[in-house]
Amino acid sequence: MGRFTLPRDIYHGKNALEALKTFKGKKAMICVGGGSMKKFGFLDRAQAYLEEAGMEVKIFDGIEPDPSVETVMKGAEAMLAFEPDWIVAIGGGSPIDAAKAMWIKYEYPQCTFEDMCKIFGIPTLRKKAHFCAVSSTSGTATEVTAFSIITDYSKGIKYPIADFEITPDVAIVDPELAETMPKKLVAHTGMDAMTHAVEAYVSTANCNYSDPLAIHAVEMIMNDLVPSYNGDMSARARMHDAQCLAGMAFSNALLGIVHSMAHKTGAAFADYGAHIIHGAANAMYLPKVIAFNAKDETAKARYGVLVDYMGIVDKSASLDEKVEALINYLRKMNDDLNIPHCIKNYGADSYPTENGFVPEEVYLARRHDIAVNALGDACTGSNPRQPSVEEMEKLLDCVYYDLDVDF
């Protein structure tokens, strides 16, 4: 039996934020990040709309990028004190993900972070509150997904919480919120979305319901991401939809080892100043993982289908030529978006540089542990080809040094 779960309502397009006026309830807690939503007026508007709907509103702010377990616990305490029947998370993936985890703890105060991390092990929610997510970045699609990514900084590891219980009840995908994104955020979140679509399409859990969403997302992102990065606001609006389509696909079809590696490298070198931003990590690793996965015949054929839809080589080309074309296309996108090709060249502000943050000896000393952690990541199981520890170490070498994958 398959299951395909999405929010009950997805409000999209210009002025979608106004949907908040129609909500029914008594108390809403708005969860928000460090200031961009306040600065650009979206927080005040969200609050006013909810008040117009007759609700008492409280704000929990200051949720940091890549939110910590501690922030989740603090937010849950605030919810337990205020007792909202709506949780409205507004911002990028970070505040929305943090709010999802707070929601679990609010509904089940005894639930520990370890309990939350048991895949598809979350007890029934919605006994206290419903959840609305309003996305301001165009990448994670957490407004429609069954996932929340929380970082345990004591271990330097990102943990995915995964359960359809945390798929929001309502998603609001209003392109106006994405207009204020700085260029770099457009690039990173956009390549995150591209990775979601490609990984979902070749995932072992792909299905007839997720495939069209993944394919259409890839086509839209290839056409709209670079123009959006260069300031075209109609392309920016389409990207906001495209990333959501990719999210609907991967929330149900799951992901693969690009994400396993991104989760386990993201904070692994934080002590060297190298916080490897999620979308940048995906952008660097995706071409390598495609080369690795293409050794699996089913995955290779699926990459071929994607390439046919993208129209980047003649349909009569061989599958090997199509895979190569896809890899080259994605690498060219990284160049157009000023994203490096490997960790060694990942420098200040995530831009390409000769001497990146992560020294070779530090990388080599940590490689084995990262490989083991990546294999254990929740995204590994649905990857079309299962790597051994040695293969994962070799893949990590490829993404550290920008080597070709020949295994």
* Interface residue list for ligand NAD (CB under 6 A): 33-34, 36, 65-66, 91-94, 97, 136-137, 139-140, 142, 145, 147-149, 158, 177-178, 180-181, 185, 189, 192, 278-279
Write down the least CB distance from residue 248 to ligand NAD, Å.
11
Task: Assess contact for 136 and 90: CB atoms under 8 A.
Answer: yes
Write down the least CB distance from residue 100 to ligand NAD, Å.
7
**In terms of CB distance, is 47 or 151 closer to Zn ion?**
151
**In terms of CB distance, is 94 or 322 closer to ligand NAD?**
94
Write down the least CB distance from residue 249 to Zn ion, Å.
12
Q: Which residue is nearest to Zn ion (CB)?
A: 192
Write down the least CB distance from residue 386 to ligand NAD, Å.
22
Write down the least CB distance from residue 259 to Zn ion, Å.
6
Q: Residue 137 binds which one of Zn ion, ligand NAD, none, with CB within 5 to 8 A depending on kind?
A: ligand NAD
Q: Residue 148 binds which one of ligand NAD, Zn ion, none, with CB within 5 to 8 A depending on kind?
A: ligand NAD
Write down the least CB distance from residue 196 to Zn ion, Å.
6
Q: Residue 189 binds which one of ligand NAD, Zn ion, none, with CB within 5 to 8 A depending on kind?
A: ligand NAD
Q: Which residue is nearest to ligand NAD (CB)?
A: 92
**In terms of CB distance, is 8 or 26 closer to ligand NAD?**
8
Write down the least CB distance from residue 211 to ligand NAD, Å.
19
Residues that bind Zn ion (CB under 5 A): 192
**In terms of CB distance, is 50 or 177 closer to ligand NAD?**
177
**In terms of CB distance, is 144 or 313 closer to ligand NAD?**
144
**In terms of CB distance, is 323 or 373 closer to ligand NAD?**
373
**In terms of CB distance, is 47 or 382 closer to Zn ion?**
382
